Copies of this chain bind each other. A is one copy, B any other.
């Protein structure tokens, strides 16, 4: 079967590097183009990139010539790791020109006709694509994944929402430095320290989940009616965002019920069929001191959610701790899984 040709927009940054790593030997997709800024375009990728992942630049891409980020690429899907401002400008151009834009950027997460997706959480939101194309007159479309901190908590929240009905969510996150890209957080700011502020992360944590937990009917998204409070902190961790989460339920639930909901969750067949889906997507740890970023970020090749410490909350109903790998589950892999779902559902044809 022929592979689908894809491009990576903004391929030299840290998320772009992850895209390359993830797609280098992908069974369905084949990287045919890499784009970069004016600084790197026209040169070898191996020369333009400051490779920050373990190992070396995969050989087959080191010699690829970096192109300008323009909708003249001979591919079907573009994975976007563009900076926000450039994403805002260029992603509609690509969508208009007929490309599928699977974006990790934040520019188009919130419009109601653009699916903000985690395949394990809200696969049916792909139904928004038709609405999007109809309303905007695009031949292609944009499908977005969430902010990395939001990704960290979404599957557990979805499971509890399905089981008990979420009324309120209180989240305090402790987030890894890799979430800020490179050079990102100065070491003088974070070594032996905690920074109680990360850009507009609180707002994203308070709004993106309402969209992901919303219902799509007749091509329209009804955003979920949940009260959310979030406070994002940066900690001296390399990879792995952790969140301390308290939830208020519509339906009463015992601690045993709440734990069982996590433990008994099964990967849907549709998701299992995706090439990037690992054996485990939900890891429940019984130990009082887990999950921990250093020990638990890499379950399921960095795609699993690790949860633990489910117990009654003295203020809301129930609380837990959630952890996921922010640059894998939280970024590049999210876009790849979104694209895989589109193929699996036949929205992109192979």
Contact = CB atoms under 8 A, between A and B. Distances in A.
A197 interface: yes
Given A182-B186, A187-B184, A196 B237 contact: no
Interface string A151-192: 000000000000000001110101001100011111111111
A236 B238 contact: no
A170 B319 CA distance: 11
Q: How large, as a class, is the contact surface on chain A?
A: 35 or more
A289 interface: yes
A160 to B, nearest CB: 15
A193 interface: yes
A54 B319 contact: no
A314 B235 contact: no
Contacts of A316: 170, 229, 315
25 contacts: A169-B315, A170-B314, A177-B187, A186-B186, A186-B187, A187-B189, A191-B192, A191-B236, A191-B238, A192-B192, A192-B293, A193-B237, A193-B294, A193-B295, A194-B235, A196-B289, A196-B291, A196-B308, A206-B314, A228-B314, A229-B313, A231-B309, A231-B321, A233-B244, A236-B236
